[in-house]
A and B are shown apart, each in its own frame.
Chain A
Amino acid sequence: MSKLSEALKSGKFIITSEVGPPKGINMDACLDEAKHFGEKVTAVNVTDIQSAVMRVGSLATCIKLKERGYEPIMQMVCRDRNRLSLQSEFLNAAIFGIENILCLTGDHQSLGDHPQCKGVFDLDSVQLIAAAKGLMEGKDIAGNKLDGSPSFLLGGVVSPCLEPVELQIMKMEKKIRAGAQFIQTQSIFEVDKFRAFVDKVRAQGITTPILAGIIILKSVGMARFMNENVAGVFVPEDMIKEVKETKDKLAKGVEIAARIIREIKPHCQGIHIMPLGLGHLVPEIIKQAGL
């Protein structure tokens, strides 16, 4: 059983973080980022061709992290592979001892650095989770029996501040029914919206652990960019003002992240910090959040 799986069972507040594989084969910076996270981070997400920008794969990076003693959460998206390749990748992951898998749709190929490529999307994220669950039960999508079946902790994602939120919850509920055992969210800046989302989810009787997404606000520009370009992420104006009026932007970013965590902590089972290259700040966020 993975450490993440045990932690989820224990009911303690969980911290996960994330690294992005590099474009090129120099893995040092990527793997070193995980070094900063510290022992309080239970597991590390590894993105899968993030933002549709061609780079090292998730599985290879997960294997490298595992060799260094970190517990990876392998992300898998539906954009680049058909059901043959996706199912095969689940088996590959199992062979290398990868136990946690997070299933996502994936950004559209037109947003990446090869916009002329053909997108696949043979499966969607709900079907991807169901496919992994099927493999765990010894069968592939076509119903064929496996000679040796894998065991995974499966996760899915949700965007709690994205309207209509009912549609988000509807799909999240399907992911859980398909086999997702934990949920990570898009980054949260609107605490009230997040609380309302959790209330709606719990009112439906959904008890699956939710790890709230946290991003470090680096600058006013970053906040404005996210508000205009990142779906489901809205940095409130007073928060932008706070960053604007501070000299040490990163220290302010850490302070805001820690504050958000303190405010949402009673409403979720953990947090997922996406440092985007600022991995060295993760321990300070955790400290200031009082975790």
Chain B
Amino acid sequence: MIVAKRKPIDEIKEMLKPYNKILVLGCGSCVAICMAGGEKEAGLLQTELQMAFDMDKTPKQIDTITILRQCDREYIEEVKDKLTQYDAILSIACGVGVQFTAEVLGGEKVLLPGLNTNFMGATIQPGIWMERCLGCGDCVLDETGGVCPVTMCSKSLMNGPCGGHEKGKCEVERTRDCGWVLIYKRLEKLGKLDLLKEIKLPKNYGAVKRPATIIHEAYQTPQITPAQDKPIKEATK
């Protein structure tokens, strides 16, 4: 899932200052699981903002709606009429949700980010999420015992560790694991240390041309272009 963290309240307040009728738009998927932007967090943020602006003697109308996914057109369309009634929408989805909601609303509404989007990761323990994939588009997990060198090594090294790890920890922070020591231990456990001997060629960082687009084979039509969210025909009507 995508893991995000709420922006500091002062930064959010500053963004919202010019607006009077504000909607906090929650997202019920990834950011709900990582306790940053779901229905519960939307409610808490609404209350917090309401109190803050009241104390500043600049009261504002702040409402909240949470939809299942801000990265899916159908869920945004369902509440489109409500969304257009506000001066500004504070989206507490990931960066994808913020942008896509704005796109679906035709770019005519002010969409503001309530979160900082950090990474793709997993729930390691309740309340702890950790990055596990950088989306490089050229997966090598079969060669590294299922531990990603691109993500888990702070330098994305492909042929083994640097000289900076100590007691299995990374030089960047002595609390985080060295990705290559993890790979080594995993391959040792799997009896596949031989996999480390092969010299890995420079990685193809062109595997994903960013900003990236994927079109499923069944949907390949010439009308879709990466830069637009709607088919050209419809968009130019």
Question: Which residues of A line the B interface, CB within 8 A?
Answer: 78-79, 83, 105-108, 110-111, 119, 121-127, 130-131, 141, 157-159, 162-164, 166-168, 170-171, 173-174, 177-178, 186, 231-232
Contacts and interface: CB of A to CB of B under 8 A. Distances in A.
A170 B160 contact: yes
Contact of A110 (B159, B162, B172): B172
Interface stretch (B25-33, B123-131, B193-201): B193-201
B52 interface: no
A174 B159 CA distance: 8
Given A121-B156, A167-B184, A178 B171 contact: no
Nearest to B154: A108
Contact of B197 (A119, A174, A231): A174
A124 B171 contact: no
A177 to B, nearest CB: 6
B172 A111 contact: yes
6 contacts: A126-B160, A166-B184, A170-B196, A171-B161, A231-B163, A232-B163
Nearest to B196: A170
B166 interface: yes
Interface string B137-156: 00000000000000000111
A171 B159 contact: yes
A130 B171 contact: no
Interface residues of B, number: 27
Most buried by A among B172, B181, B184: B172
A126 B159 contact: yes
B158 A159 contact: no
A83 to B, nearest CB: 6
Smallest CB-CB A-B distances: 6 pairs: A171-B160, A126-B159, A105-B162, A231-B166, A159-B163, A124-B157
Interface string B161-182: 1111111000110000000110
A108 B154 CA distance: 8
Interface in B82-115: none
Contacts of B184: 164, 166-167
B219 interface: no
Contact of B166 (A126, A157, A232): A232
Nearest to B159: A126
Given A110-B172, A126-B158, A158-B163, 14 more contacts: A105-B157, A105-B162, A108-B171, A108-B172, A124-B155, A125-B159, A125-B162, A126-B159, A127-B200, A130-B199, A157-B163, A168-B161, A186-B163, A231-B163
A178 B198 CA distance: 11
B45 to A, nearest CB: 28
Interface in B185-237: 196-197, 199-203, 205
A141 B202 contact: yes
Contacts of B154: 108
Given A107-B171, A108-B154, A174-B197, A231 B165 contact: yes
